[in-house]
Amino acid sequence: MNVFDEMGEFWAEIADQNQTERQIRFLKTKIRPDSWILDLACGTGRHFIPLNKEGYLAVGLDVSPNLLKIAKNRCPRAQLVRADMRFLPFKPKTFSVVFSMDQSFGYLPTEKEDLQSLKDVRIVLVKRGILIVDVFNREYLIKHSNSTNESKLKEYLNFFMLQRRMIDTNSNYLRDSWRIYEKSNGQIRIFEHATRLYTFDELKGLIGRAGFCVIEVFGDYEGQNWTPDSKRLILVALV
């Protein structure tokens, strides 16, 4: 769970280039500007800070002090909370919208704890409040991977990154190893992480068990209907 905290500015640079503008455009189609919004696992604030600057009322929550520090440096007025998503430190019915974007959901140790986090979200949402969960589509990843172990080399402004990705079809985990080569000094850093992948039925069932009703399912950030061959799995649910 702390790998992104350890990565700090490396992760900020990686995340900023990962479809952020598309994701924000999608969120704006689902959120009213006068709604109080919680960005769950906000990281560096790449989603809620631009929304705040456009007049949306958004709060960011994350467990990582390093990523929250980056978010604060980006926007000193940002409302940031350091907390565990399983134990949300807010009063009941505080928010109209809670969103978790770009596979921020699935890093807790067990599925039971994923469920606990959703139950806590339900408590802090108003009646008819909206939950948005955006994750990888497990079916797509398995079908379109050339193998269960792939490597990609990517260049960023300050470093190169060799990404080795393995899809564990037995445990349904996506495991990444990132080998980072810093351009300024040649130092090599290695980071590893694993995230739980859900099928549509599994994620819809989990959200339902937490007390939500799924009302929309999308396969991309342009609002295309979800199919088993969609790259993304984006569920919109109501309390």
In contact, 162 and 178? CB cutoff 8 Å: yes
For residue 17, is pLDDT > 90? no
Using pLDDT thresholds of 50, 70 and 90, give the confidence band for residue 149.
low
Q: How far is CA 179 from the centre of its chain?
A: 22
Please list the alpha-helical segments (H only) found in 81-235: 111-124, 138-144, 200-209
Q: For residue 191, what are the β-bridge partners?
A: 178
Q: pTM score, two decimals?
A: 0.94
Structural domains of the chain sorted by starting position, each given as residue range(s) with its CATH number in brackets? 3-136+199-238 (3.40.50.150), 140-195 (2.20.25)
For 34-70, the pLDDT digits (tens) are 899 999 999 999 999 999 999 999 999 999 999 999 9
Pairwise CA distance, residues 205 & 218, whole Å? 16
Residue with tokens 């590893």: 192
For residue 148, is pLDDT > 80? no
> Minimal CA–CA distance to 165: which of 149, 153, 179, 178?
149
pLDDT value of position 74:
95
Pairwise CA distance, residues 38 & 128, whole Å? 15
